[in-house]
Structure 1
Amino acid sequence: EIRGSLAGTHPSGLQNPAAPISMSAQAAQLNSAGKKKLVFNTGSISRPVKRILVTGGAGFIGSHLIDRLLQDELNEVICVDNCFSGQKSNIYKHIGNPRFEFIRHDVVHPIQLEVDQVYHLACPASPVFYQDNPIKTIKTNVLGTVNMLGLAKRCKARFLITSTSEVYGDPEVHPQVEEYWGNVNPIGIRSCYDEGKRIAETLCMEYYRQHNLQIRIARIFNTYGPRMLENDGRVVSNFIVQALRNKPITVYGKGDQTRSFCYVDDQVDGLIRLMNGDHMGPINIGNPGEYTILQLANTIQNIINPKAQIVFKPLPSDDPKKRKPDITKARKFLGWEPKVNLEEGLKHTIADFSSRMTKEQKLKAVSNEEKSKVEVDTKLE
C-alpha cells in the first residue's frame, strides 16, 4: 500500500478501516482565538492548522483538489480512497509530505478521524464505472454520505459534497438554475448515480436542519482535464483517445446534444471558494459555454488530427439533450467564474493523454521484448 503520514500520526485505517488515527504524537488544543493548534513531541512547534479530509482524493478531481490544498502550508490533508476508479499515481508525489496522509478505505464503512473540513467526492462519476456495479454506486452515495456526514457532525467540521448536474435529469429548463427540480427518470440505467446524488443532497440538507451541520452543496458540470482516465467512457476522454490512436471519433446520435465543459483547475477553484464562503448552496459550478457534441469532436479533431474520421452511432438511452449551468449564484456569492476556455483546456488535456499513452506504449514494448527473450531462452534450453 502507498502510505503517507501527517507528522506524528499513523494511518492505522489501512489495517483497520474503522480504527482512529493515533494522535499519540500530537495533541489538538484550542488557542485563545479558538483555532486548532498542533503540539508536536518536540514541544517546540505550534501553529494554527486546518486538517482537511478529501474522500475520493486519488480520483481525477480529488487529486487536483489535494494539489491545490497542499499549496497552503497551514493545511494538512487526509486522502481517503478505495482506489476503485482513483489512481495511486495521482497522489504519489505527495507521499512523504508530512502534511499529507493517504488511507485506503471505502466510505461505505465508517472511519474515525479528526478534521476541520470534509470534501466528499467519493463516488465513481463516469458511466463505465458507476454502471459496472449500480448497487455499489447507490451504497457509496447513500451509506458513504451518511458516514461522512456523521464524521463531520462528531468533529463539528464543515462538509462539502460534490453533487452533479445529473440531478437535473433531461432538463426542460435551459440553462439550469439551482431552483429547478429536474426532469428525471428514477429507474433508468443511469439512475444509480443520478438518484444517488439527489438523496445525498437530501441527506446534507437534513443534517443541516436537524443537527445544524455546516454544509456546502456543489453541483458540478462535465469537468475535464489532465488525469482523466483513458477508459472512463466520458465524451472528452473518448474523443481524445480515439484521435490519438488514429481511430474514428465516435459521435452518438446526430451530435446535436449540448454540454458545458469546465476545466479542472476552474472546478477546484470553485469548490474551495464554496467551502470557505458563507453560502451553503446548492450552487452550480460549471462553465456556461455551451457546445454541441459534434463541435467538441471537431475541436479535438482539429487539434490532434484534422484528417481523423468522425462516425455516427445510435444515441444511448437516458442521454440528456441539453446541459448548461446558470452560474449567476456562483458569480454573486463566490466571486467565481471559469477562466480557461475550451480550446486551451483541451490542449492541456490532450498533452497529458499523449504523454501517458506514450509511456504506456514504451512499457508495453519493453514488456514484450522481455517476454520474447524468455521464450527464446526457453527454446534454447
Structure 2
Amino acid sequence: MAKKRILITGAAGFLGSHLCDRFIKEDFHVIGMDNLITGELRNIEHLFHLENFEFYHHDVSKFVHIPGKLDYILHFASPASPIDYLKIPIQTLKVGSLGTHNLLGLAKAKHARILVASTSEVYGDPIVSPQSEEYWGNVNPIGPRGVYDEAKRFQEAMTMAYHTFHKLETRIVRIFNTYGPRMRLNDGRVLPAFIGQALRGEDLTVFGDGSQTRSFCYVDDQVDGIYRLLFSDYTQPVNIGNPDEITIKQFGEEIIKLTGTKQKLVYHDLPVDDPKQRRPDISKARAILGWEPKVNRTEGLKITYAYFNSLPEKEILHKDFTYFNKH
C-alpha cells in the first residue's frame, strides 16, 4: 500500500521541522518546502538520507507545483517572531496571503486536505481572558505587529472561503506560545531572549512592568494537537496551547533559577501593541480532539535550556534586538 504523501511548508523552521519528524515517524512520505528566509537546514538535515523525505527550496508566495499525488498539506511557512516580521514585513504579508492562496489552490487541484497555521496573534491585545475561538480580537492593522496579525486573519478568511465555496477539506489551528529545541536563540521572543541573556551573563530584559502574561506550550504537545486536528472532522479554528498562565516577571525569575545566573531583571518600555495577556481557552481542543498539554513547564524548560546551551558560542553571543530598539 502506497504511503500517504504530505507537503509541509516552513519545513526548516522550528515547528515545521518537528512536524516533519512526527509525520516521518507516522510512516508518511514527507515533502518539505522552505525558502530558508528564517528556517535553517540543520533542523531537518537528519532527514535528508531517508527515502520518505524530500525537500524543495522554494518560496510558496510564488506558484507551487508538486508532482504526483498529494493527500495532505500543512501550511506553516511564515516568519513568526517580531524581529523577523519587522525586518521582512512585505514577505510576511505575502506568505500569509499569496502563499496561502497558492497552497489552497494546490490542495483543490490535488483533492488534498489542508491545515493552515494561524496564531493567537489574531486576538491582538485581547480585552477578554482566556481567549476562546469565538473572540474576534483587538488588532491594530497599521501598527508594527499588523503585518503578521492581519496576514494571519486574512489567511483564516481565505481558508474558510475555500472551504465554503469550493468545499475544500480545511483545518485551522490557532497556535499559542510554543517553545522547545530548534527555536532560534535571538528571534526576539521572550523565552529564547531570556535564555540567551542568561547564557551571556547579561541582565534579563523585561519590557513594561512585567505584569503581562504568556502561556507556554512545549513543542511535542503542540505537534500532537496539530496532528489530532488534521485528522479530525472539525473545520472551525481550534486553539492549541497551554492554559498555564505566568507573568513575564515570574517567568524571568524562573529562567534565572533554571540557569543559575547571577543576573537580575531590568525593565524597559513596552513595545507598541505588545499583548498584555495571552492565555488560551482549550475547551474545544479537549472536547473535540481529546487533547491537552502533558509536558509541564519545568520539564520542558530543562530540555530547551540544554538545547540552547549546546549551541556554538558564536550563536549564543550574537544579539539582534532590532525590534526592541525601534519599537
TM-score normalised to the size of structure 2? 0.94
How far apart, CA to CA, are the structure 2 residues paired with 1:277 and 1:48?
A: 22
SS in 1 for 2:206: strand
Instruction: Give the deviation of 1:133 after TM superposition.
Output: 1.7
How far apart, CA to CA, are the structure 1 residues paired with 2:312 and 2:269?
A: 28
Equivalent AA in structure 1 for residue 265 of structure 2 = I
- 1:91 paired with 2:44, answer yes
Instruction: Give the deviation of 1:307 after TM superposition.
Output: 2.1
How far apart, CA to CA, are the structure 2 residues paired with 1:359 and 1:263?
A: 26
How far apart, CA to CA, are the structure 2 residues paired with 1:352 and 1:281?
A: 35
How far apart, CA to CA, are the structure 1 residues paired with 2:314 and 2:223?
A: 27
* 2:54 aligned partner: 101
Equivalent AA in structure 1 for residue 294 of structure 2 = K
How far apart, CA to CA, are the structure 2 residues paired with 1:54 and 1:283?
A: 19
Listed as ranges, the matches of 1:47-86 within 5 Å are 47-73=1-27, 75-86=28-39
Kept after mapping to 1: 8 A contact 2:118/2:172: yes
- Contiguous gaps of at least 5 residues in structure 2: 317-327
* 2:152 aligned partner: 197
Name the stretch that deviates more: 219-228 or 307-316.
307-316
* 1:43 aligned partner: none
SS in 1 for 2:172: strand
SS in 2 for 1:239: helix
Kept after mapping to 1: 8 A contact 2:124/2:149: yes
**Which has the larger Rg?**
1
Instruction: Give the deviation of 1:259 after TM superposition.
Output: 0.7
Classify 1:323/1:360 alpha carbon distance in 2 versus 1 (closer, same or farther; 3 Å).
Answer: closer
SS in 1 for 2:285: helix
Instruction: Give the deviation of 1:330 after TM superposition.
Output: 0.1
How far apart, CA to CA, are the structure 2 residues paired with 1:96 and 1:315?
A: 46
How far apart, CA to CA, are the structure 1 residues paired with 2:209 and 2:167?
A: 48
* 1:112 aligned partner: 65
Kept after mapping to 1: 8 A contact 2:201/2:261: no
Instruction: Give the deviation of 1:48 after TM superposition.
Output: 3.3
How far apart, CA to CA, are the structure 2 residues paired with 1:360 and 1:107?
A: 28
Kept after mapping to 1: 8 A contact 2:4/2:71: yes
How far apart, CA to CA, are the structure 2 residues paired with 1:72 and 1:304?
A: 35
* 2:226 aligned partner: 271
How far apart, CA to CA, are the structure 2 residues paired with 1:264 and 1:210?
A: 34
- 1:166 paired with 2:117, answer no
How far apart, CA to CA, are the structure 2 residues paired with 1:315 and 1:126?
A: 16
* 1:354 aligned partner: 309
How far apart, CA to CA, are the structure 2 residues paired with 1:359 and 1:331?
A: 42
Structure with higher RCO (Cα < 8 A, 6+ apart) = 2
How far apart, CA to CA, are the structure 1 residues paired with 2:40 and 2:91?
A: 19
- 1:283 paired with 2:211, answer no
Runs of 4+ more than 2 Å apart:
357-361
Instruction: Give the deviation of 1:49 after TM superposition.
Output: 1.5
TM-score normalised to the size of structure 1? 0.81
User: Paired residue for 2:112, among 140, 144, 157?
Assistant: 157
User: Paired residue for 1:128, among 83, 93, 116?
Assistant: 83
How far apart, CA to CA, are the structure 1 residues paired with 2:148 and 2:230?
A: 23
Task: Report percent identity of matched pairs.
Answer: 55
Equivalent AA in structure 1 for residue 212 of structure 2 = Q
SS in 2 for 1:246: coil
- Contiguous gaps of at least 5 residues in structure 1: 1-46, 362-381
Instruction: Give the deviation of 1:281 after TM superposition.
Output: 2.4
Instruction: Give the deviation of 1:306 after TM superposition.
Output: 4.7
Equivalent AA in structure 2 for residue 60 of structure 1 = F
* 2:201 aligned partner: 246
Aligned residues: 315
Equivalent AA in structure 2 for residue 116 of structure 1 = D
How far apart, CA to CA, are the structure 1 residues paired with 2:164 and 2:111?
A: 15
Kept after mapping to 1: 8 A contact 2:181/2:304: yes
How far apart, CA to CA, are the structure 1 residues paired with 2:264 and 2:223?
A: 34
How far apart, CA to CA, are the structure 2 residues paired with 1:251 and 1:343?
A: 20
How far apart, CA to CA, are the structure 1 residues paired with 2:218 and 2:123?
A: 21
How far apart, CA to CA, are the structure 2 residues paired with 1:83 and 1:50?
A: 25
Kept after mapping to 1: 8 A contact 2:13/2:43: yes
* 2:212 aligned partner: 257
SS in 2 for 1:131: helix
How far apart, CA to CA, are the structure 1 residues paired with 2:261 and 2:9?
A: 40
How far apart, CA to CA, are the structure 2 residues paired with 1:248 and 1:312?
A: 10
RMSD value, Cα: 1.3
